[in-house]
A and B are shown apart, each in its own frame.
Chain A
């Protein structure tokens, strides 16, 4: 579904991605794990058209990915960014409706809104509240819900469980499974490598802007070097 080939990204003098190639198949959950600063967010932002690439090619469903971020969203790729980037000065409902900014199918938008409220009942209770007044966890639910409102085919999730209480982490990963069941494809970036590898089908390990390992997520979960670097298991 998504093919990324030999992608390079520079921030001024910093060479953040050095020839990254990944592929994501229809209906898969693919995860990218890596240390802080490895370039995970950069990769998602390159796919979303937020950062410029200096080299490489990306195709989505067989055709080249557009470069403008709005055109990419229109193609059915949405990113749920890290750091709970809600529109704090707007209500929860406004935030969700902005997720559906490019859509005009009012009936379907309404039913997607109900689905988001089912996934996160808390958002329905808080619909009229300013998003900036939500708790951190609620804001994270809102960014995920807002992303789903675009009715994407491919969801890019950037560290959805960061800074959440364990019970909420469970909820988020449950939602990730639900999203997949609804027929969507997911590319998941996570610090919580254990959760990510147990949920995903396939995984890539990113180190200093390069893919150093890839394969079946279960197998990587049992890989001794992964266990040592990312799962905190002492050999």
Chain B
């Protein structure tokens, strides 16, 4: 029982990082209807930003954390400007966006390999390694911190989208960009904002991922799991992205805890295919078209 609880908590912790990443995929998808595969690259660079702000610039951890998030937001906005905006202005077909996204993703990864190098790097220790003991359950301090920070970020995002005027404008643009324009909403600005938010969360996720594991140029590939989670939950749906991520995180830790970590990814991908076969819109995706 104690072991099970421990696994659940680990799962929630890793699931909440997936959620931060998945939300970035979902937000962009909800507005632009394509999967932004460059997101993984932004997460990877976010991890490097945090690493170098801590180790080279010797910033305090909270400052490095915020700094990495802001740099990632900037990077995400640049990716949108360079890789997507020109296509958008020409009303390019959907496939071009996907190709451009993959190109951007490959570029970011190789840029890091060429400049920084392919080696794995380990974050300096920020929190004491010793876990907290509650009864017979041991919880890592890092896991607790990761879960709390992720939860706070997601709560802020929900507040922003549901309670503020600009958040409503984002939702309106996601639903129908032309109608949003007729309201006087600057939809280009909304798109920039959405990339900035996605990038901000990517930076937060990247730093936490780097702290939990290591930093390396291909780590963007791992974030594809958060994409799986977003599709599983229903791409474009934020609650779907969060729930899908938590389920994926818990499943992964349970599978590696009780079975074998070799099977972990196999099962993740099987899950994706199964969901797409039986419920193409995902757990929380919209099943019906809106009224004409």
Contacts and interface: CB of A to CB of B under 8 A. Distances in A.
Interface stretch (B44-52, B174-182, B194-202): B174-182
A207 interface: no
Interface stretch (A13-21, A23-31, A98-106): A98-106
Contact of A98 (B172, B178, B290): B172
B50 to A, nearest CB: 35
A48 B169 CA distance: 18
Interface stretch (B10-18, B183-191, B227-235): B183-191
A46 interface: no
Interface in A133-154: 136, 139, 146-147, 150
Contacts of B176: 85, 87
Contact of B185 (A83, A90, A101): A101
B171 A90 contact: yes
B169 A73 contact: no
B58 interface: no
Contacts of B181: 48-50, 69-70
B: contact size bracket: 20 to 34
B291 A102 contact: no
Contact of A78 (B169, B178, B182, B290): B182
Contacts of B172: 87, 90, 98
A101 B167 CA distance: 12
B175 A90 contact: yes
Given A90-B168, A136-B291, A85 B183 contact: no
Contacts of A70: 181, 184-186
Contacts of A48: 181-182
B184 A69 contact: yes
A50 B178 contact: yes
Given A88-B290, A132-B291, A50 B182 contact: yes
A39 interface: no
Contacts of A146: 183
A94 interface: yes
Contacts of A97: 165, 168
A150 B183 contact: yes
A99 B168 CA distance: 11
Interface in A30-80: 48-50, 68-70, 73-74, 78-79
Contacts of B175: 87-90
B168 A98 contact: yes
A11 B255 CA distance: 54
A127 to B, nearest CB: 15
Contact of A89 (B165, B169, B171): B171
Given A83-B292, A85-B176, A132-B290, A94 B182 contact: no
Nearest to B291: A132
B92 to A, nearest CB: 13
Contacts of B185: 70, 98, 101
A209 interface: no
B178 A85 contact: yes
Contacts of A90: 168, 171-172, 175
Contacts of B180: 87, 98
A50 to B, nearest CB: 6
Contacts of A89: 171, 174-175
Given A81-B178, A87-B179, A88-B291, A68 B186 contact: yes
15 contacts: A49-B181, A69-B181, A79-B182, A81-B179, A85-B178, A85-B179, A87-B172, A87-B175, A87-B176, A87-B180, A97-B168, A98-B183, A101-B185, A132-B291, A150-B184
Interface of A: 48-50, 68-70, 73-74, 78-79, 81, 83-90, 94, 97-99, 101-102, 132, 136, 139, 146-147, 150
Q: Which 8 A-B pairs have the closest CB atoms?
A: A73-B184, A85-B179, A69-B181, A102-B184, A88-B290, A70-B186, A70-B184, A87-B172
Interface of B: 165, 168-169, 171-172, 174-176, 178-186, 290-292
Given A83-B292, A94-B168, A98-B169, 20 more contacts: A49-B181, A50-B178, A68-B186, A73-B183, A73-B184, A78-B182, A81-B179, A85-B179, A86-B179, A87-B171, A87-B172, A88-B290, A89-B174, A89-B175, A90-B171, A98-B168, A98-B185, A101-B183, A139-B291, A150-B184
